[in-house]
Amino acid sequence: MKTAVIGSGAWGTALALALRDNGHETALWSYTEQESSVLRERGENPMLPGVALGPGVALTTDLDCVKGCGAVVLATPSFAVRGTARQLRGRIDPGTPVILVSKGIEKDSCLLLHQVVAEELGGRNPVVVLSGPSHAEEVGRGVPTAVVVACEDREAALLAQDLFMSRRFRIYTSPDIVGVEIGAALKNVIALCAGCCDGMGCGDNTKAALMTRGLTEIARLGVALGARKETFAGLAGVGDLIVTCTSMHSRNRRAGILIGQGKTAREAMDELGGAVVEGYYAAASAKQMADRAGVEMPITAGAYEVLYAGGDPRQVLERLMARERRDELEAEESWI
């Protein structure tokens, strides 16, 4: 099938290679000429050292590459999703599924990214969200990986499954696009906090508690927004949370470590060379969404305080530990 991947960062590149390896005709679109030339000249993406591009991936900066495609993968950072989707309108054939792999929530509007894409494309294209525990560095090297593709339109989800499924890349389908997107976007906030714990020298116990209670509050918000609770026990929930909170591949965790060691959020992101730290943006949106929905998210609120209001992570942790005593299942009974 003719396919195009829009966004040649680490993730877009790894997915373009997965499509090419499955025998699809694949174009990889870069945001800048310079980025495209680097890929062409080096034969690899500097974000994926040691992963050769090889033949069969057409490098381009022309968005018309989406014309005539059977599926288009959208892999820009979350802040660029709306602008890029707007430019795709009029180019992409009506009915062609868009497989969205960016993770985040739109700033201010608090829309989920699949809603942003659907809005910009005028609802003429099914939008599938692909998510799960999947570092680009590992998918690029063919490390066995499993993810989920979610869409209310089952045909579109099955097409996405078919496109990517291989012996190295196992794809599950799901109808719960809201749950999958909420899990994908908000685990980055918890990964920042997990990194912060590491940077402050806390132990495994602290991090495990943070991940568990972090997932609980993500699920609480998700369910309030119409997601299915089981999704948070799946690949896009606990699966992605584990991988992001425990790996040095995660920029969110790495940024958190620096903040835990005393850097400001800005200094930490600069030290990561300007690579996108989605959790920083997601923390603001998550806080806004939680406030609007009247859902309690104490860890996310603490992350917001540290990232945006100069809060001291040690004091935030102390406050979280000193919250009123609770039953573990108490607040969750209303889910059922």
Ligand X SMILES: NC(=O)c1ccc[n+]([C@@H]2O[C@H](COP(=O)([O-])OP(=O)(O)OC[C@H]3O[C@@H](n4cnc5c(N)ncnc54)[C@H](O)[C@@H]3O)[C@@H](O)[C@H]2O)c1
Beta strands 25-29; 57-60: pairing state: parallel
DSSP string of 174-229, one letter each residue:
ES-HHHHHHHHHHHHHHHHHHHHHHHHT--HHHHHHHHHHHHHHHHHHHHHTT--G
Q: Rounded CA gap, 139 and 36, in Å?
A: 21
Residue 304, amino acid: Y
Query: For ligand X, which stretch binds (CB under 6 A), given 120-128, 191-199, 225-233, 273-281?
Result: 273-281
# of chain residues touching ligand X (CB under 6 A):
27
Compare residues 31 and 172 and give the one whose CB is closer to ligand X: 31
Q: Which residue is nearest to ligand X (CB)?
A: 9
By CB under 6 A, residue 172 contacts ligand X: no
* Binding track, positions 32-51, relative to ligand X; x by CB under 6 A: x--x-----------x----
> Closer to ligand X at the Cβ: 101 or 156?
101
State which of positions 182-241 bind ligand X (CB under 6 A).
Answer: none
Q: Least distance (Å) from ligand X to the CB of residue 321? A: 30
Residue in 20, 135, 254, 287 binding ligand X, rule: CB under 6 A: 135
- Measured CA to CA, the distance from residue 2 to residue 71 in angstroms comes to 7
Query: Is residue 252 within 8 Å of 192, Cβ to Cβ?
Result: yes
* Residues in contact with 118: Cβ distance below 8 Å, sequence separation at least 6, in sequence order: 125, 127
Of positions 16, 39, 69, 75, contacts ligand X by CB under 6 A: 75
Binding-residue pattern over the window 90 to 109 for ligand X, x denoting contact by CB under 6 A = -----------xxxx-----
187 is catalytic: yes
The distance in angstroms from the start CA to the end CA of the chain is 43
- Is residue 148 within 8 A of residue 160, CB to CB? The reply is no
How distant, in Å, are the alpha carbons of 111, 125, 126, 159, 176 from that of 92?
A: 22, 9, 12, 17, 25
Quick check: 13 and 47 in contact, CB under 8 A?
yes
Catalytic pick from 187, 207, 229, 263?
A: 187
Determine if 78 is a binding residue for ligand X (CB under 6 A). Answer: yes
Q: Which is nearer to ligand X, 208 or 275 (CB)?
A: 275
Binding test (CB under 6 A) with ligand X, winner from 26, 36, 125, 134: 134
Among the residue ranges 55-63, 75-83, 169-177, 297-305, the one whose residues contact ligand X (CB under 6 A): 75-83
User: Min. distance of Cβ 145 from ligand X in angstroms?
Assistant: 10
Give the whole-angstrom CA distance, residue 186 versus residue 183: 6
Side-chain-side CA neighbours of residue 327 (13 Å) = 5
Judged by beta carbon, residue 135 or residue 207, the one nearer ligand X is 135
Q: Which of 275, 291, 308, 312 binds ligand X (CB under 6 A)?
A: 275
Amino acid sitting at position 105: I
Tell me if 133 contacts ligand X by CB under 6 A: no
Enumerate binding residues for ligand X (CB under 6 A). 7-12, 31-32, 35, 47, 75-78, 80, 83-84, 101-104, 134-136, 275-276, 278
Active site residues: 187
